[in-house]
Amino acid sequence: MRKFSITLRTPDNIFLERDDVEFFSFSAESSSYGVMAYHAPVVTAIKGGICKLFTDYTKEPMLIAIFDGVFKFENNHALVLAAFIENEENYKEALEIRAKRALDQSRRRKQSYSEFTSTYSSLIKAIEKTTDKKPQEDDQ
**4-88: CATH, from 3.30.479.10, 3.40.50.150, 3.30.300.30, 2.60.15.10:** 2.60.15.10
User: For every one of its 140 residues, what pLDDT tens digit does the chain have, with 9 covering 90 and above?
Assistant: 899 999 999 998 999 999 999 999 999 888 899 999 999 999 999 988 889 999 987 789 999 999 889 999 999 999 999 988 888 777 777 778 777 777 877 877 777 777 888 888 888 888 888 776 555 555 55
Domain boundaries, the chain: 4-88, 90-131
User: Whole-prediction pTM value?
Assistant: 0.66
CA atoms of 37 and 74, how far apart (whole Å): 10
Q: What is the CB neighbour count within 10 angstroms for residue 88?
A: 14
